[in-house]
Every structure is written in structure tokens, then in C-alpha cells.
A and B are shown apart, each in its own frame.
Chain A
């Protein structure tokens, strides 16, 4: 057996006899189970919400059929018809909430102006949002590194403190392999605990063993590798257990708390985005201003961007549905530039976050996990794009009838467009190499500290 493997074998024996290690891994495992349980409940709630949509829609349509029997104006029927759309749950969605707690999983849209409808959302419990969510991604990004830091920060300083270091070094080995074996075995213990929780998640939720699931595991281990490098660096660079502990806690707070907050602040300053609410208000103001304008002016404005309908019969009387929807659509069109900028800025934020997050493995891992769980900002923006496309389908379906002043019978309702939640394949996932480079870089720093006499 190679000397390093022999060292590792002894480190396993050390670890198995170490009550503190059992306690730390046990607590991590328990936190993982709790995250799994909350994830399972959240998934069940979301699944139930999505599964209930057809029944809600059917009830609604029965009511509309009753109201507009034997027939009703197409514009009138469309006004009262809410169409359900939903963001389906990826297999890993139970493990990483991502942004899904602050954005809706289900959006009911009507033929009216779209912008306002996109940003209407119900919050289950706003108090919980301030606190953040407890999910497996949080356990892996914040608690697993903490467990590793607790187990290995004093890998060498504990030996110094207890007076064993001279005898250890005098035996002929150097501190480097000893530290490497110690950190490796402790990282393996933490990694196996995380993997065990993930295995239970796969069995229970259930999660098929797809490339995404394996990618989750690879991200878990790469993230831990980066922290193993960090902890080796702290263990090598400090001389007393107190200094090691202070270093470990400082690093954890900097990586898990400060860096994400700073990144957020920097992005919010560099790339300000208008709130969705602001877009809603602008769109409504534009739309409703039309009540006080001549109908013909609104229609002219509408025909500029929608010339296909310019040949339809003119608006007559005090109210016409074609005018009403034209007014709604011009409202959307008046904020289309801002809406595109809003989306583009959000995407840019996501891109820059992905580019900068490698500075902190916890922030980067959070991105990796939410990406694989389909709960990141990109996935939400892609869902909004699908809702936007569906709304365009609604207009394409209803406008010929609305602009031709046609009536609909309940028999026509079956042909109404339905949202199809066909999720496009996830974009190419973020690479793992930034985490591995962090691991190698900090391990190199650790090795530099152990050159020369280390007593």
C-alpha cells in the first residue's frame, strides 16, 4: 500500500474513534433529512397546485358556458376566461428552491395586456422570505462547508496544542502528507454524508439517475473539494487552534454571508432593473389613458404595429371589444422596450453572477444547484418567455373572432388554446473547473506554508 493510502487508513481509524466527528456528521445528516422533508412538502404543494389546474379551468369554463349560453361575444368570453400556465417542476426541484419561492409556479393569463399579468404573484408567507429557504442546496452550500471546517480546521494545530507534533514529525514524515490525508478523509466523511442524503432523496422524491442528478453529485463533490483546499490552507497557515478557528469562521462568514451579499449589492448598483410592478403601472396608465381618447386614435396607434387588423370593420358605438383589446395591447407595446430591457438586465445579472461567483465556492455551488434543479433565474425567465408566447397564441386565436365581431358557443371552448409546458432542455450547465481550480490553488498555498521547519 502506498504511504499516502496507509496514512488515509489511519485517518479513517482516527475519525471513527472521534466522537466529535460523529456528532458533526450526524448533525449534517439530520439537517439534510430536514431539508429533504421540507423539500418533499414543498414539491407536494407545487404538484398539487399544478395538478389542480385542469379542474379549476373546467369549473371556470362551466361557469362561463352557463353565463354565455347559447352564445356570447368572443371578446366578452375571452375577457372572463383565465388560461392557466405553469412552470413544471424538474426532478431536482425539491432540493433547491432557487428563485421559485419569490416567483409564481402558476400564472393565469387573460387576453388583456400581458405585462401586468406576468408580475402578479401571491406570496405564501412573506415572513419566511426574509428568512430564506431551508433546502438541500443550503445544507450543501452553507452547512457542509461548516461541518468540514469544524472537523479539519485544527488538523495540525490540534497536534501542536496537544504536544504530539514533534513526535509525529520526528517519525520521518512531513506535515504535508499528514495534513492532506487528514483533510481528505474528513472531506470524504462530509461528502459521503451529503451523498447519503442525496441517495435518500433519489429514492424518496423520487429522482431518476439522469445526467442532471449525476451533475448535482459532481457539483457537491467539487464544491467540497474547494472547501477542502481552503481548510487545508487554514490548517497549514495557523499556529494555534484558536487562530485556526478564527480563520475558519472568518472564511465561512466571508464566503457564505458577505460575498453573496456584496455580489448582490454590486449587481443591483451596476445593473439596475425596474421592478415588474413599475412596468405594470406604466402599462396600465398607457392603457387606461385610452378611455379619455378618441377611439379612432387608439385604433390608429394599434394598427401601426398590427397592420393585419387594419382592414377590419371600424369601431362603432360606445364600447367595442376590438377597441378594448387594442387599447390593452398598445399598453403592452408602450412598455415593450422597458420590458425587454428588464428581461435583458435580469439575464445580464445572471450571466455576471455566474462569471464572478467562482470567487466564492458557496455562491457558485448555489448557482450550480439551482440551475440543475431548474429553479434559477434563467429557468424562470424562460418560463415567462413561454407564457409570453402562449399569450401571443391567445391573441392569434381570439383576434380574428374579436375583430370580426363574432359570437362563440360553448362548443367552441374546446378549441381554445391550452398552455403546453414543454420545457426546453436546460442550457449548458456551468463548468465545475472553477471549483477545482480553487481547490488546487488553496492546496498549493497550504503546501507553501508547510515548507521548511514547521514546528
Chain B
């Protein structure tokens, strides 16, 4: 569903490429967690999949479509939750969801929108409050609702649980599981080793724009992920 082939992206003035000849596939129903320190190339990889950056070489494919050639069509098949979900403060959570859903071409009845917000963990009382009064976690939940409402086949998550409290983070894990059951392919960049081990079907440890390690779910069970991560960073 999500395919990255020999992808290289170098920023002007940078000594080394941000993403260096990367190959990666995420199948439907799979959750691939990308671990790595800041600057490892996780967000650059996601931005190439979103079509926000043009790779210097290689390509990114969504559902078999080349992102560089069909940027609009590939975006339609993706949902995305950034690390910081920034919304319109003068709209309520419900209105923000309605607006972003319409941008994605979906029109939902009020009850459906509220269902998405509730699924994302936003308490009912907050649905009609202006987002300017929301906490970071509440905004993040609206972001999750926006991604859910898009009903996409692939989901790109860039540190989605940052700002969520442990119980909200747990609810989010449940949600991801349900999405996997619906055959959604998920690529998640994260620093959260615990969540990665809990939720992912595969984990990739990225360093200097390359995947240093890839572990399957079976391997993860018997691996001390933190130790492996620290070893990879020290290497």
C-alpha cells in the first residue's frame, strides 16, 4: 500500500542526505513504526509520501500511484496526523472536523461528525467549544478525528501521541488496532518505544536517512527494543 523505492532526499546546503536510498513497504493492515532520533529522516520520509517534498531520486508510491506524478490522487488515499495539530481557533472542534472533511471531499451529517470526535476520544462537552480554548491533547484528538473521517487506505502519523496523556494514548492504540483490522496501512514516526513495541507489526530504526534495523512483531517480542535502539544510535 505504501511503498518507498530507493528514495533519496538531500536539502540544499546539507552535508549528508536527509533520506538516503531508502526502501520500505507497508502492507494493508500493517503498522510500521519508524524510530530514530531527531534528524534521522523520519519526517522527511513522511513528507515525501505526502508529496510535500520532491525526492532527488527514487520514488514514493501510494496504492501503486507515484506521488510525484499524481500528487492530488495520492493525497486522497492518505490520512495524516502531524505532531502538532494546528486548527482554526475561531471554529469549534466540530466545525474544524467538518471543514477539513469537506476539503477531503466528504460531507457528513452532524451526528456522524460527533461520532468521529467521540471515537477519537474527545469528550462530548468539548465538541461545540471553540478550539482556541482546547488543550494540546484535545487538538490532537480532533486531528485523529479528521484522519478517521477521511476513511483513507493509508495513514501517516508523525509523532501522533505527543501531548496525549497515558490513557488517551492507550485509547489511540485501540483505535489504531481497529484501523489495522480494516486493512489500513499505517506508517508512524515516533519516539515512543513502548507504543511502538505495543502497536507495531514492524519497527524500523532509522539513522542518517537509512533504516539501521527492521524488526518484525515476532522479533519484537523477544527483543529489548530500548537496548537495541541505544546500540543503533551508538554505532
Contact = CB atoms under 8 A, between A and B. Distances in A.
A171 B100 contact: yes
Contacts of B91: 13, 17
A361 to B, nearest CB: 32
A28 B179 CA distance: 51
Interface in B70-84: 71-72, 75-76, 78-80, 82, 84
Given A164-B88, A166-B80, A170-B75, A453 B54 contact: yes
Interface string B41-54: 00000010011111
B50 A166 contact: yes
B103 A453 contact: no
A422 to B, nearest CB: 58
A18 B132 CA distance: 13
B126 interface: no
A453 B52 contact: yes
Contacts of B76: 172
B86 A163 contact: yes
Interface residues of A, number: 24
A453 B47 CA distance: 10
Contacts of A172: 72, 75-76, 103-105, 150
B53 A453 contact: yes
Contacts of A174: 71-72
Given A164-B86, A170-B75, A452 B103 contact: no
A424 interface: no
Contacts of B90: 14, 17-18
A337 interface: no
A167 B52 contact: no
B146 interface: yes
Contacts of A168: 100, 103
B47 A6 contact: no
B50 A169 contact: yes
Contacts of A203: none
A167 B80 contact: yes
Nearest to B52: A455
A397 interface: no
Interface in B51-65: 51-54
A178 B143 CA distance: 20
Nearest to B152: A172
B193 interface: no
Contacts of A293: none
Contact of B85 (A6, A167, A453): A167
Given A10-B99, A453-B53, A3 B82 contact: no
B102 A170 contact: no
A222 to B, nearest CB: 31
A170 B72 contact: no
A162 interface: yes
B215 interface: no
Q: Which of B52, B72, B85, B95 has the most CB of A within 10 A?
A: B52
Given A10-B102, A17-B90, A172-B72, A453 B51 contact: yes
Contacts of A17: 90-91
Nearest to A1: B107
A112 B79 CA distance: 87
Q: Which of A7, A17, A18 has the most CB of B within 10 A?
A: A17
Contacts of B82: 163, 166-167
A171 B86 contact: no
A13 B105 CA distance: 18
Contact of A162 (B79, B86, B95): B86
B214 interface: no
A162 B84 CA distance: 10
A452 B53 CA distance: 9
Interface string A16-32: 01100000000000000
A14 B91 CA distance: 8
Interface string B16-27: 000000000000
Interface string B89-128: 0110001000110111100000000000000000000000
B87 A170 contact: no
A145 to B, nearest CB: 26
Contacts of A14: 88, 90
Nearest to B130: A17
A163 B158 CA distance: 14
A173 interface: yes
Nearest to A9: B102
Query: 5 tightest A-B contacts by CB?
Result: A17-B90, A163-B86, A171-B103, A455-B52, A170-B80
16 contacts: A3-B105, A6-B102, A10-B99, A13-B95, A14-B88, A166-B52, A167-B100, A169-B52, A169-B75, A170-B50, A170-B79, A170-B156, A172-B75, A452-B54, A453-B51, A455-B52
Given A17-B90, A170-B156, 15 more contacts: A7-B103, A13-B95, A18-B90, A163-B84, A164-B87, A164-B88, A167-B146, A171-B146, A171-B150, A172-B72, A172-B150, A178-B103, A452-B54, A453-B51, A455-B52
